[in-house]
């Protein structure tokens, strides 16, 4: 299958600019925010932009886009006010996805802040099931680095939320997060083991997207800082196996690598293409 890889690109100046931004870094799929992710804000997309985005995607992209929701969304929260804001924000993201023809909305489970793992997963399932998710849009739960009371670090949490929801949801594995959460990806054998474990616990049929990032911190540290592909603690051997694992070759990849040391998204996407063998 052809490699679907891209980056998290900016929508500055209009969401339709994301397509040109993606082409510029050599991507053929990828991720966007619909607004600044650090604040509560509604997507502000006019009909012309939405149409140009869909036309550009049809023309220039091979794989699917994914929307990453606001970092303030906390599906697991026991706090009513935060739950309501998260629900409202999520509804607007899935509606924006429908308008843009984007099939996926990626979200973190968030922190249970005292509700416990089971309580947090119950809270998250109830928010998801209160959404009116349009046809053609699927919510993806992103794997987490697992710091503090944040859920999604363990594959069991991802399986737990799939089990609890009436809604059909799937999963996005972030390689840097999974590694930080304790799933080794630094050798070919470790990659095979981790993919096997994911398949046993969650099921590879639920893996719809991957955030491909290397990690600045060691396995199991719960520290979430992304590194350039092949240059972190996952490293080249692990990345090469991940990119060529027979069960993963058709899964689209979005890079959230840093832009530092003179290495851009284009550099990282090139690196992915070099490490992939087909």
Residues that bind Zn ion (CB under 5 A): 142, 174, 211
Closer to Zn ion by Cβ: residue 56 or 175: 175
Closer to Zn ion by Cβ: residue 4 or 56: 4
Query: Known binder of ligand: residue 211?
Result: yes
Beta-bridge partners for 255: 7, 212
The distance of closest approach from Cβ of residue 55 to Zn ion in the complex, given in angstroms and rounded to an integer, is 28
Give dist(CA 262, CA 52) in Å, integer.
32
Give dist(CA 270, CA 229) in Å, integer.
10
Query: Known binder of ligand: residue 142?
Result: yes
Closer to Zn ion by Cβ: residue 157 or 211: 211
The distance of closest approach from Cβ of residue 47 to Zn ion in the complex, given in angstroms and rounded to an integer, is 28
Query: Known binder of ligand: residue 174?
Result: yes
Closer to Zn ion by Cβ: residue 142 or 214: 142
Confirm if 146 and 154 have CB atoms less than 8 A apart: yes
Query: Known binder of ligand: residue 224?
Result: yes
The distance of closest approach from Cβ of residue 108 to Zn ion in the complex, given in angstroms and rounded to an integer, is 6
Query: Known binder of ligand: residue 166?
Result: no
Of the candidates 5, 20, 87, the residue with the CA atom closest to the CA atom of residue 56:
20
The distance of closest approach from Cβ of residue 154 to Zn ion in the complex, given in angstroms and rounded to an integer, is 16
Report, in this order, helix, strand and coil percent for the chain, each rounded to 5.
40, 15, 45
- Distant-in-sequence, close-in-space partners of 13: CB < 8 Å, separation ≥ 6: none
Confirm if 108 and 68 have CB atoms less than 8 A apart: no
Residue ranges of the annotated binding site for Zn(2+) are: 68, 108, 142, 174, 177, 211, 224, 226, 256
Residue ranges of the annotated binding site are: 68, 108, 142, 174, 177, 211, 224, 226, 256
């Amino acid at each position: 299958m052809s490699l679907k890889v891209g980056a998290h690109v900016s929508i500055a100046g209009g969401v339709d600019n994301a397509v040109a931004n993606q082409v510029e870094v050599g991507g053929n799929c990828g991720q966007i925010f619909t607004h600044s992710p650090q604040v509560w804000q509604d997507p502000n997309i006019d009909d012309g932009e939405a149409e140009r985005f869909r036309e550009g995607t049809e023309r220039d992209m091979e794989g699917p886009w994914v929307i990453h929701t606001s970092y303030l969304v906390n599906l697991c929260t026991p706090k009513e006010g935060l739950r309501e804001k998260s629900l409202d924000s999520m509804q607007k993201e899935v509606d924006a996805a429908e308008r843009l023809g984007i099939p996926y909305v990626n979200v973190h489970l968030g922190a249970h802040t005292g509700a416990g793992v089971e309580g947090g997963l119950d809270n998250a399932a109830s928010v998801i099931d209160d959404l009116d998710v349009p046809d053609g849009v699927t919510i993806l739960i992103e794997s987490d680095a697992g710091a503090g009371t944040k859920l999604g670090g363990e594959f069991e949490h991802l399986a737990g939320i799939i089990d609890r929801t009436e809604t059909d949801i799937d999963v996005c594995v972030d390689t840097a997060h999974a590694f930080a959460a304790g799933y080794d990806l630094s050798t070919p054998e470790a990659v095979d083991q981790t993919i096997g474990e994911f398949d046993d616990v969650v099921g590879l049929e639920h893996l719809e997207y991957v955030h491909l990032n290397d990690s600045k911190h060691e396995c199991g540290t719960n520290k979430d800082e992304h590194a350039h592909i092949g240059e972190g603690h996952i490293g080249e051997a692990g990345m090469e196996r991940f990119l060529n694992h027979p069960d993963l070759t058709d899964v689209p990849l979005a890079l959230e690598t840093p832009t530092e040391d003179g290495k851009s998204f284009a550099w990282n996407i090139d690196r992915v293409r070099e490490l992939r063998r087909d």
